[in-house]
């Protein structure tokens, strides 16, 4: 069991799992019971993340079944506690409908790219970075609150920039030679969130400036220490977007 429950190898992924749930609970206006359940559920995902990912990558059916079953129950049982049979109905009032739909699409895309392009493909890597923020989508359901578009928009910006940040890192790696314009082009759809709340433009400023500057930057990194520093730089950028987005949506 020691190899099943462990701290994620990548601090960014582990941090995103916890912080995304916290953000979702804040926007869902959860009470103390919702916070207790939500954080417990997020910790289960946190400590089983590497085991689930490694089982999926090596296609170990037993490990995949265990990880899926454990995490599935961790999210479904609290939702059943709060909403009862309502979570089984294909209704817009079902707080699991959108989260489960999003997760299904994400896994389908990641599976398709990982099997056809390989795990080292930049697109596969970027799609994988959408997954750690998924707990935010389930925060309303596990805390007994209705699903809201605030949570959906929060998850979208956080997860999407995680993926764009991963693609940005790929453009800086000397052994990848990934075109620098691709992350910026892929980032442009994020501006659609201003149609939901114009003040979200504040969260988009720093990432956009970073991606534009990257077009003119001709430097690459190859050493492990330099790659780690680059990764932490992107994580700080993600956290800035996280805080601004959360504040804007909470105070609207």
One domain, residues 190 and 134: no
Q: Do 107 and 59 have their domain in common? A: yes
Q: What are the pLDDT digits (tens) for 230-241?
A: 888 998 999 999
The pLDDT of residue 240: 96
On whether both 33 and 112 belong to a single domain, the answer is: yes
The stretch 43-55 carries a mean pLDDT of 93
Its domain, for residue 206, covers 152-252
Say whether both 47 and 162 belong to one domain.
no
The runs of H, that is alpha helices, within the chain are: 11-28, 32-58, 61-83, 97-116, 122-128, 135-142, 149-172, 181-187, 201-216, 224-251
Same domain, yes or no: 157 and 95: no
- Average predicted confidence (pLDDT) for the chain: 91
> Do the Cβ atoms of 34 and 43 come closer than 8 Å?
no
CA dihedral sign, ordered 1, 40, 19, 160: positive
139 and 20 inside one domain:
yes
Q: How many domains, in total, are found in the chain? A: 2
- CA-nearest of 117, 130, 143, 111 to 41 is 143
Residues 185 and 118 in one domain: no
Q: Is the pLDDT of residue 203 over 60?
A: yes
The reported pTM is 0.92
One domain, residues 40 and 105 = yes
Looking at the structure, do residues 133 and 249 belong to the same domain, yes or no?
Answer: no
Answer with the one of 98, 118, 147 that is the final residue of a domain. 147
Return contacts of 174-180, CB within 8 angstroms, 24+ apart. 174/220, 174/221, 174/222, 175/222, 176/122, 178/122, 180/214, 180/215, 180/217
């Amino acid at each position: 069991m020691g190899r099943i429950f462990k701290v994620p190898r990548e601090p960014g992924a582990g941090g995103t799992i916890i912080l995304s749930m916290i953000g979702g609970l804040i926007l869902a206006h959860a009470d103390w019971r919702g916070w207790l359940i939500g954080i417990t559920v997020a910790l289960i995902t946190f400590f089983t993340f590497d085991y689930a990912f490694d089982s999926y990558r090596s296609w170990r059916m037993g490990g995949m079944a265990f990880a899926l079953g454990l995490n599935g129950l961790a999210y479904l049982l609290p939702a059943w506690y709060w909403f009862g049979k309502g979570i089984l109905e294909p209704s817009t009032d079902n707080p699991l409908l959108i989260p489960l739909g999003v997760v299904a699409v994400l896994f389908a895309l990641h599976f398709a790219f990982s099997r056809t392009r390989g795990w080292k493909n930049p697109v596969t890597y970027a799609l994988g970075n959408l997954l750690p923020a998924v707990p935010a989508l389930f925060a309303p359901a596990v805390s007994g609150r209705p699903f809201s578009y605030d949570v959906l928009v929060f998850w979208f910006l956080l997860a999407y920039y995680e993926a764009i940040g991963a693609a940005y890192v790929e453009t800086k790696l000397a052994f990848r030679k990934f075109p620098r314009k691709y992350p910026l082009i892929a980032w442009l759809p994020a501006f659609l969130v201003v149609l939901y709340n114009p003040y979200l433009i504040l969260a988009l400023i720093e990432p956009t400036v970073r991606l534009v500057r990257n077009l003119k930057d001709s430097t690459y990194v190859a050493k492990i220490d330099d790659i780690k520093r680059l990764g932490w730089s992107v994580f700080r950028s993600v956290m800035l977007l996280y805080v601004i987005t959360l504040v804007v949506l909470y105070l609207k």
